[in-house]
Amino acid sequence: MKIIVMLLIAILPAVTQTSNPLTRQIKRDEGLRRRPYQDIMNRLVVGYGHKLGAHCGDSSAKVDGNRTKAFFIRTSTQPAPALLPEIVEAEYLGTLGEDRVIGLTLVHDSGKRFHGAYFHRKDLKDIPVEGELIGERDIVLREHNGDGSVRGTFQLHFAEHDPRDKTARNELEQEILLGTWTNANGSKSYPVLLDMQTKWDTEVMTAGSKHPYASTPELEQNAQGFYFAVLKGDKLVVANHIQYPLKVNSRRTKTVHSKTEFLDLYDQIFTRKYVERIKQGVPYHIWGNIDGWMIADGAVWFDEAGKVTVLNSCMPQEDP
C-alpha cells in the first residue's frame, strides 16, 4: 500500500501539468529534433529571452531552441498518414519572386479543403484564397477577381527538405512551402518559398475559432503606426506609440519612464542597424504569446493595444 501511495504522489503533478491542451502541446514538442529552419527559431528564442528581461550579452538570453520551440511553433511529432487534417491554422512568411515579401494564412476547413489569405508586405492587405489538397504534399490555392473569376493560382508543395540547406537529412513535415504563383492567363509566373511561423492544431483550437493570440485590428493599426514612424524617423509619433515605463534591452537593460526621457535617448536607441532590423519585420498578422506580440524576431514587443512595451535594440545572439 505504501508503494502505491508513493507512486500516486509522484505521478499526480505530471497529470495536473498536462491537463491543459496548451501544456500538453508544449510537453509533446520538447526534445524535437533540430530542423533546417533552426536559425530562424534561434533568433525567435533569443527575442523571447530578452522579453523576460535579459540584456545583450546575458547568457540567460540564450535558450535551447529544441526545448523552447513550442513557444514559437505548434508542431506535432506524431506524423499522420494524412499530412494536413490536424492543422486548423498556420502562418507562413516568405517571398514571391526574387524579393517580394509575402505572408500566408492557411486555414484547414474539412476534408481536403482550405481557405485563407495572403498579403504583400508593401501594402499589408489580405487577398483571400481558397483551394484544396491535391496530393499527399501538394495544394492549390486560388485568388479571385470581384466577378468570381480566377486572378491567380498558387501551386504549392510541402517540401521534404529545405532547399537552402543541402546538408539536412531529416525530412520536413509542413514547415516549408515551395512552388509558384501564376496569373490567370499564364503569362506571368513567380517562384514562391514560404517558411512556417506558427501552427495551431486541434489540441489548442477548434475549426472556425481564432487561435489564442491572434492579433486584432487595433493592435495591428498601432503597431503599423509605430513601424512606419520609425522608418520615417518621426520621433514624436514613435514616442506616442510607447507604453511607459518602457524596457529597453541593449548592452544594459534600461527602464524609460517618460516621453521626455524617451526622446532624449531616441538616437541612442534607434541606431541605423536597429532601424534596419525593425524594417525587416512585418507589422501584420503579428505573432504573439502569453507575454505579448512581437515583430522582427523580437526586436519590438507590443501589448494587446499595440503599444510598445519592450525594445530589444541589440542584435540577437546566435548559437555557437
Per-residue pLDDT of the chain (320 residues; tens, 9 = 90+): 555 545 444 544 443 433 333 333 332 333 222 233 333 333 333 333 345 444 454 433 322 222 222 233 333 334 433 444 466 788 999 999 998 999 999 998 878 999 999 999 999 999 999 999 999 999 999 999 999 999 999 999 999 999 998 787 788 988 999 999 999 999 999 999 999 988 876 665 555 556 667 889 999 999 999 999 999 999 999 999 999 999 999 888 999 999 999 999 999 999 999 999 999 999 999 988 889 999 999 999 999 999 999 999 976 554 43
Same domain, 234 and 195: no
The helix-helix angle for 217-232 and 272-279 (nearest 10°) equals 140
What pLDDT, on a 0 to 100 scale, did the predictor assign at position 192?
A: 98
| CA–CA distance, 310 with 141 (Å, rounded to integer) | 37
Same domain, 170 and 225: no
What pLDDT, on a 0 to 100 scale, did the predictor assign at position 167?
A: 80
Q: Helix, strand or coil for residue 223?
A: helix
| CA–CA distance, 39 with 76 (Å, rounded to integer) | 20
Same domain, 181 and 236: no
| CA–CA distance, 303 with 318 (Å, rounded to integer) | 26
Domain boundary among 170, 201, 232: 201
Whether 62 is covered by a domain: the verdict is no
Whether 212 is covered by a domain: the verdict is no
| CA–CA distance, 267 with 67 (Å, rounded to integer) | 37
Same domain, 194 and 276: no
CATH number for 114: 2.40.128.120
Q: Helix, strand or coil for residue 248?
A: strand
What pLDDT, on a 0 to 100 scale, did the predictor assign at position 104?
A: 96
| CA–CA distance, 118 with 103 (Å, rounded to integer) | 5
| CA–CA distance, 189 with 280 (Å, rounded to integer) | 25
What pLDDT, on a 0 to 100 scale, did the predictor assign at position 108?
A: 86
What pLDDT, on a 0 to 100 scale, did the predictor assign at position 173?
A: 87
Number of domains composing the chain: 2
Sign, CA dihedral 183-93-304-298, equals negative
| CA–CA distance, 241 with 307 (Å, rounded to integer) | 5
Model pTM above 0.85: no
Whether 105 is covered by a domain: the verdict is yes
Same domain, 262 and 303: yes
Domain boundary among 145, 167, 201: 201
Same domain, 307 and 253: yes
CATH number for 276: 3.10.450
Buried b (16+ CB within 10 A) or exposed e, 172-200: bbbbbbbbebeeeeeeeeeebbbbbbbbb
What pLDDT, on a 0 to 100 scale, did the predictor assign at position 128?
A: 97
Same domain, 223 and 278: yes
3-state helix, strand, coil in the chain (%, to 5): 30, 30, 40
What pLDDT, on a 0 to 100 scale, did the predictor assign at position 154?
A: 98
Q: Which helix (H) or strand (E) holds 12?
A: helix 2-17
Residue in the structure block whose three cell numbers are 507604453 = 243
Same domain, 182 and 222: no
Domain housing 259: 217-312
Whether 249 is covered by a domain: the verdict is yes
Whether 279 is covered by a domain: the verdict is yes
Domain boundary among 171, 201, 231: 201
Residue in the structure block whose three cell numbers are 541606431 = 271
